[in-house]
Structure 1
Amino acid sequence: MASIHKDISLEAPASAVWDAVADFGALHTRLVPGFVLDTKLDGEARIVSFANGTTVRELLVDCDETRRRLVYAVISERITQHSASVQVIADGEAKCRLVWTVDVLPHAIAPYIDGQMEQAALAMRKALAERAQPRTHAAPSVV
């Protein structure tokens, strides 16, 4: 079985990143907007529509609030085995690491999955960094 590991540094507090990861039905709006176009909940699963046209069904296996760890499995005709875990680890108050591990068969699909995870990491960094920035509002003009 191929194992793919990503250790992603994020410029956002662990609590904010975990909140986005744990929101299982909001990949497309909170965690990886642009990379994922839509997410629909279907019981304990989510149907994920990716920007590349792929749609997959991901089954929620575990969501551990204490460990900030989410586990899911992909159910697919192309993939005989796919299990993934995402864990958020604080790195100070304003930064964290997201450790993402995917175990997949057949081995031949591992390079594709690895590439998709790289693209997701870019989208995640962008979305979470933008949300972590303090918002400034222009002062109303006085006439």
Structure 2
Amino acid sequence: MRIATCRSRIRTRITRTCIIGIRIEGVDESRDVDCGARSAGCRRVAHGQQFSPGAPAGRRAQSSRRLHAGMDDGDNAMASLYREIPLETDAARAWETLRDSRNIARVFAGVLTDAQVDGDLRTVTFANGSVVQERIVAVDDAHMRVAYTVCGPNFEQHAASMQIVAEAGGRSRMVWISDFLPDERRAMVEPLMDAGCAAAQRNLAR
């Protein structure tokens, strides 16, 4: 899998073991989580790149970072991760599962072990025992998109969304975007997001 930065430096690496460190209530915790082989179908696309649901699967996958307006490169950079996950299921079925926060632990089984929902707050437990709280911002049935923020001390801000896009032949695709500060959290978020891609691809097809 190729990973291209905004400076067009390309490297290729597949990692089987992800190091995930999440601080919960002031406690730093870092454990090894076996994420398995990265899904060949999970594609990385530059955040600013035009997305076309019918784009060929062979399109180059990329990841990029976006900067705050007026800031120089490298100064308070905001990480911006974008993933496209092809699903072997139709869009209506995938959206019916994804839109309900109570199903999130099933969608990401293997990465998440539990999810508790209280109004617009969702508390998820990861396989390494870490607990993170998320706030659901919007559930858009017309565009099959759910937007949420990640709460807690690890991020200055963290906004994310997941969207189901219909494809030909009864298939679909999940588009997952995650924007956050500080950029240094990329080392924590990116492997976890890639593991989530593989889990969603597997579990939403069932």
1:19 to partner: Cα distance: 1.0
Secondary structure at the aligned position of 1:124 is classed as: helix
Counterpart position of 2:93: 16
> Percent of aligned positions with the same letter in both sequences?
33
Q: How does the TM-score come out when normalised to structure 1? A: 0.86
Aligned-partner Cα distance in 2 for 1:104–1:16: 30
1:112 to partner: Cα distance: 1.7
RMSD between aligned residues: 1.1
1:11-63: CA deviation from partner (whole Å, max 9, x where unpaired): 1111111111101122112x111211000012211000011222110100000
For structure 2, list consecutive stretches of 5 or more residues without a partner in the other structure.
1-77
1:85-118: CA deviation from partner (whole Å, max 9, x where unpaired): 1111001242111111000111100122111110
For structure 1, list consecutive stretches of 5 or more residues without a partner in the other structure.
132-143
Counterpart position of 2:72: none
1:46-87: CA deviation from partner (whole Å, max 9, x where unpaired): 000011222110100000000001000000111111000111
Aligned-partner Cα distance in 2 for 1:2–1:77: 17
Secondary structure at the aligned position of 1:61 is classed as: strand
Larger relative contact order (Cα-Cα within 8 Å, sequence gap ≥ 6): 1
Aligned-partner Cα distance in 1 for 2:180–2:101: 21
Counterpart position of 1:82: 158
Q: How does the TM-score come out when normalised to structure 2? A: 0.60
Counterpart position of 1:65: 141
Bigger proportion of residues as helix: 1
How many residue pairs get matched? Answer: 129
Counterpart amino acid of residue 125 in structure 1: Q
